[in-house]
Homo-oligomer: A and B are copies of this chain.
Amino acid sequence: MQVHADLCLIPIGTGVSFSAYIAACQKVFEDAGLSHQLHAYGTNVEGEWDAVMAAIKACHQAVHAMGAMRISSTVKLGTRTDRAQTLQDKIDSVNNKRSENPR
């Protein structure tokens, strides 16, 4: 089962800057060989369910290891059985609809 995920991880008790922790998570996704894309409020990731979930667990473990005693993540998980679709397909699909109806 393929999954499209969006991970927004919040380290708690470490101050108001998250960038070092988010950078560590980017490295986790890279090391896992998962297609991923950072945005301003999270990271899109796609791949096999178990591989994506293993990476999300590794993100929590990495951020705890960096000193965060508490973490709260919001994860969106999209699965579908009707057809294969990449993260980029979803963006292209919306943009195509926009160009068909410019006003």
Contact = CB atoms under 8 A, between A and B. Distances in A.
B82 A70 contact: yes
A38 to B, nearest CB: 6
A90 B95 CA distance: 24
Contacts of A94: 19, 22-23, 26, 38
Interface of A: 1, 4-6, 8, 10, 12-13, 15-17, 19-20, 22-23, 26-27, 37-42, 44, 49-50, 53, 56-57, 60-61, 64, 69-82, 87-88, 90-91, 93-98, 101
A19 B90 CA distance: 8
Nearest to A101: B23
Contacts of A71: 77-80
A39 B91 contact: yes
